[in-house]
Amino acid sequence: MAQLDSKIPPGPLADKWRRHKADMKLVNPANKRKYELIVVGAGLAGASAAATLAELGYQVKNFVFHDSPRRAHSIAAQGGINAAKNYQNDGDSVHRLFYDTIKGGDYRSREANVHRLAEVSVNIIDQCAAQGVPFAREYGGLLANRSFGGAQVSRTFYARGQTGQQLLLGAYSALSRMVGAGGVQLFTQSEMLDLVVVGGQARGIIVRDLVTGGISRHAADAVILATGGYGNVFNLSTYARGSNATAIWRAYKRGACLANPCYTQIHPTCIPVTGDYQSKLTLMSESLRNDGRIWVPKKKEDRLKSPAEVPEADRDYYLERMYPSFGNLAPRDIASRAAKRVCDEGRGAGESGLGVYLDFGDAIKRLGEAGVRERYGNLFDIYHEITNESAYQTPMRIYPAVHYTMGGLWVDYNLMSNLPGLFVLGEANFSDHGANRLGASALMQGLADGYFVIPYTIGDYLATQKPGSRPSTDAPEFKQAEENVRGLVARLLAIKGREPVSHFHKRLGKIMWELCGMARTKAGLEKALKEIPALRGEFWQNVNVPGAGGTLNQSLESAGRVADFLELGELLCLDALEREESCGGHFREEHQYPDGECKRDDEKFAHVAAWEFQGEGKKPLRNTEPLNYEAVKMSVRNYK
């Protein structure tokens, strides 16, 4: 059974991080040069970590499967990044950001982690502004803010609808500086396919060069995974097509616990699915809900009319009606379920009936078309590119879609997994968002982890490891892990079945969305737990992976990733089945209040579920870490 010690420092909540930093062990500058660190991933979390650790003097090897760190999925982030700067004087504070995040996560995250996140949020903005990130500014020169869901203050910093791209350019510049200075060795188009554990500690990785097919071993004093989220287990999602779970899944199979895999975020404002051959879905940023108003016709018979034909009196602005305090800025889980409810009632817009309107008519009257264009122009362009409709003239049609995974590898307060020496950052860990992430908090967490947390906590760990004590890559554990990878590649190529990889991914996605999506039931999850292993069996009999292993082979890459999704999907459903409550993004139909809101069971489920691999074909072990609330009283979330 895994040891899950959260290592939350003692003392008052607001002092914990400061005191912990003061108490942690240090590595002297001359010794830092003797440690080699592996960072897998160079999205916001990985690039910020690799750059900062190299600036500190560590030798860093940074691996990405992309052809450049600039292609990490972080680049897609549109809306913004939260920070408790209170530039608006609208009552924000570190405490309020902490409180909103805990409440937004439906009381399923750790108080101490979330408080630290709120504290360092202010440093992130300073650091990024100093790097030259072109945040929007007010007329007086201060950085501008807008609102995101689940908050009544404006604390979201943004760079039009391209915040992730601009932040990533900042982190990439910092990383490039260190590549140039020799502190970071960058390996692009290099996919980590196994974690190497020696004597119970993470000591290295096995990597496949995606261009030559070459397989190599890399040893280190510590391994950091910053490999993003696993939402593509649903096939259709707002993630970049390449985002995958392979790094965390293979680490799980080497002993790292996977926490709360069922906590999936379904974002309310995405362009609806249009057909079976679609490969991804597109987000329409939550920032649009600052000015756009969401509605459906009051009467079912109006749902196929053009929106202009539905008079004002016949429109149901259901979020404003149901949640008057937060209105269109209700948190994502709540806004998504409300959209599902009105569509299930038969009032959904469009042919499929799976759509609601996001209407800028009022905003255009108030701000003028130019004003709306200035705030959201690129998002309107994206919408036009995909639908061939102008949202300046007619409301956008949107529907919820998979967008983020709150679950991930379990980490303690120091961001170390239960495997000593394995650290996990950004979306790949489970740390801060509980059962529902608030908008604009993922970028904040990724950069907090990379710029401000890991540089301290990794030193505390390394100080306990003798410099230069990392094993040689000739150690038997490296040999075994490499054979494991070679065996998997050979096995996939040898099947020579009839169906392409995408066939299985689509079918898995359908099972996941229908049985473990926005609403989950015991019967549905039990059905999924039968269908997924059967589909996995079919995959291993009948998948067709053309080409060879010793060359660029994208079918082979995606086959490995889908093989992992076919296992992870099962764990996700098992986690959803065993969590007999509703909380945040995890909505079990059996557990709801009469008005359809989530009914938590704090007595039985106020804990993290951290799953431990027990071997192929064996049921994984469900470990728990209790969640203790001292500063915040657990209550029923109310956004009314």
Residues that bind ligand FAD (CB under 6 A): 40-46, 63-66, 69, 72-74, 76-81, 163-164, 191-192, 226-229, 238-239, 243, 246-247, 283, 403-404, 426-428, 440-443, 446
C-beta of 65 vs 461, nearer to ligand FAD: 65
Residue nearest to ligand FAD (CB): 43
Q: What is the DSSP string of 11-71?
A: S-GGGHHHHHHHHS----HHHHTT-EEEEE--SHHHHHHHHHHHHHT-EEEEE-SSSSGGG
For residue 512, the minimal CB distance to ligand FAD (Å) is: 17
In the complex, least distance from residue 260 CB atom to ligand FAD, rounded to whole angstroms: 16
| Cβ closest to ligand FAD, residue 567 vs residue 581 | 567
Torsion sign (Cα): 149, 152, 155, 158: positive
Closest contact distance (angstroms) between CB of 31 and ligand FAD is 28
Q: How far is the CB of 214 from ligand FAD (least distance, A)?
A: 14
Nearest to 171 by CA among 127, 110, 111: 127
Nearer to ligand FAD, 431 or 582 (CB): 431
Residue 415 beta carbon to ligand FAD: minimum distance, rounded to whole angstroms: 12
Those residues with Cβ within 8 angstroms of residue 466's Cβ, 6 or more apart along the chain or in another chain: none
Our CB check for ligand FAD shows the closer of 44 and 151 to be 44
Q: What own/partner pairs with CB < 8 Å and gap ≥ 24 does 51-54 have?
A: 51/171, 51/174, 51/175, 51/177, 51/178, 51/184, 52/174, 52/450, 52/451, 52/454, 52/455, 53/454, 53/455, 53/458, 54/178, 54/181, 54/183, 54/184
Instruction: State the Cα–Cα distance between residues 350 and 272, nearest whole angstrom.
Output: 10
Pairing outcome for strands 356-359 and 408-409: unpaired
CB nearer ligand FAD, residue 128 or residue 310:
128
Residue with tokens 């192929």: 616
Cα 99 → chain centroid: 20
Reading phi first (left if > 0) and then psi (alpha if -120 to 50, else beta), residue 368 is in left
**Min separation Cβ 304 and ligand FAD, Å:** 29
The pair of structure tokens assigned to 623 is: 């470990």
For tokens 């053309």, the residue is 546
Considering beta carbons, is residue 531 or 557 the nearer one to ligand FAD? 557
List, in order, residues 6 or more apart from 506 with CB less than 8 Å away. Answer: 235, 276
Collapsing DSSP to helix, strand or coil, 87 comes out as: coil
Report the nearest approach of ligand FAD to the CB of residue 364 (Å).
23
Q: Are strands 607-612 and 621-626 parallel, antiparallel or unpaired?
A: antiparallel
**Phi, psi dihedral angles at 433 (to 5 degrees):** -105, 5
Please check whether residue 410 is in contact with residue 259, taking contact to mean a CB–CB distance below 8 angstroms: yes
Q: How far is the CB of 66 from ligand FAD (least distance, A)?
A: 4
**Beta-carbon neighbour count of residue 398 at 10 Å?**
26
Which residue lies nearer to ligand FAD by CB, 279 or 393?
A: 279
Q: Which whole-number Å values give the CA distances from 188 to 45, 176, 385, 423, 628, in the listed order? A: 16, 13, 31, 21, 42
Question: Are the C-beta atoms of residues 182 and 173 closer than 8 Å to each other?
Answer: no
Q: From the CB of 242, what's the least distance to ligand FAD, in Å?
A: 7
Sheet harboring 201-209: ordered strands across?
Answer: 190-198, 201-209, 215-219
Rank residues 40 and 102 by Cβ distance to ligand FAD and give the closer one.
Answer: 40
CB nearer to ligand FAD: pick between 86 and 238: 238
Angle (CA) 74-77-83 rounded to 5° is 100
Separation of alpha carbons 304 and 361, rounded Å: 19
Q: How far is the CB of 154 from ligand FAD (least distance, A)?
A: 15
Task: Provide the 8-state DSSP code for 450.
Answer: I
Q: Which of 250, 200, 67, 91 is nearest to 155 (CA)?
A: 91
β-pairing verdict for 36-40 and 59-63 = parallel
Task: Give the residue numbers marked as catalytic.
Answer: 332
* Closer of 228 and 585 to ligand FAD (Cβ): 228
